[in-house]
Chains A and B, each alone.
Chain A
Amino acid sequence: MLFNSLDFAAFLALVACGYHLCPIRWRRWYLLASSYLFYFTWSVGFASLLLAVTGVAFVLAKRIADRQDERVRRQLLAVAVVVLLLPLLALKYLGQLSFGLIQNPHGGAWVSFLPSGVAAVGISYYTFKLISYVVDVYWQRIEPCHEFGSVAIFAAFFPQILSGPIQRAGDFLGQIQNLEATRPELIASGLRLMLFGFFKKLVVADRLGVVVDPVFTHPHQWSGSVLALGSYLFAIQLYADFSGITDIAIGAGRVLGFHSPPNFDSPFYAENIQDFWRRWHMSLTSWLTDYVFMPLRMASRDWGQLGLVASLVINMVAVGVWHGAAWTFVAFGLIHASYMAVLSLTLRRRKRFLQQRPVLQRMHRFIGPLITFNLVVVSLIFFRAADLSDAWYILSHACEGMLGSVARVAHRGVEHGVWGLSHLRWSPGDVVVVFGAALIMEAVHLLQRLKVAVDLPLVRWAGYFALGFAILLWGESGSKQFIYVRF
Chain B
Amino acid sequence: MQTEQTIREQLNQVFREVFDDDSIEISDEMTAADVEEWDSLNHINLIVAVERTFGIRFSTKEVNGLANVGEFIALISSKLR
Contact = CB atoms under 8 A, between A and B. Distances in A.
Given A348-B20, A351-B20, A297 B65 contact: no
A140 B65 contact: yes
Interface in A289-303: 289-290, 293-295, 297-299, 301-302
B64 to A, nearest CB: 5
The interface residues of chain B, by DSSP majority, are classed as: helix
A302 B45 CA distance: 10
The interface residues of chain A, by DSSP majority, are classed as: helix
Contact of B41 (A139, A295, A298, A308): A308
A290 B39 CA distance: 12
A120 B18 CA distance: 45
A139 B65 contact: yes
B40 A293 contact: yes
Contact of B40 (A139, A141, A289): A289
Contacts, number: 39
> In the complex, which range does the number of interface residues on chain B fall in?
10 to 19
A43 interface: no
B60 A295 contact: yes
Given A274-B39, A274-B41, A294 B64 contact: yes
Nearest to B47: A301
Contacts of A274: 39, 41
Contacts of B40: 289, 293-294
B65 A301 contact: no
> In the complex, which range does the number of interface residues on chain A fall in?
20 to 34
B56 interface: no
B20 A298 contact: no
Interface string B48-68: 100100000010110111000
A297 B48 CA distance: 10
Interface of A: 138-141, 274, 278, 289-290, 293-295, 297-299, 301-302, 308, 344, 348, 351
24 contacts: A139-B61, A139-B65, A140-B65, A141-B64, A274-B39, A278-B39, A289-B40, A290-B64, A293-B40, A294-B40, A294-B60, A295-B60, A297-B44, A298-B44, A298-B47, A298-B60, A299-B60, A301-B44, A301-B48, A301-B51, A302-B48, A308-B41, A344-B41, A348-B20
Interface of B: 20, 39-41, 43-44, 47-48, 51, 58, 60-61, 63-65
Closest 5 pairs (CB-CB, A-B): A297-B44, A298-B60, A139-B61, A301-B48, A289-B40
Given A140-B65, A301-B44, 17 more contacts: A139-B60, A139-B64, A141-B64, A141-B65, A278-B39, A289-B40, A293-B40, A294-B40, A294-B64, A295-B60, A298-B44, A298-B58, A299-B60, A301-B48, A308-B41, A348-B20, A351-B20
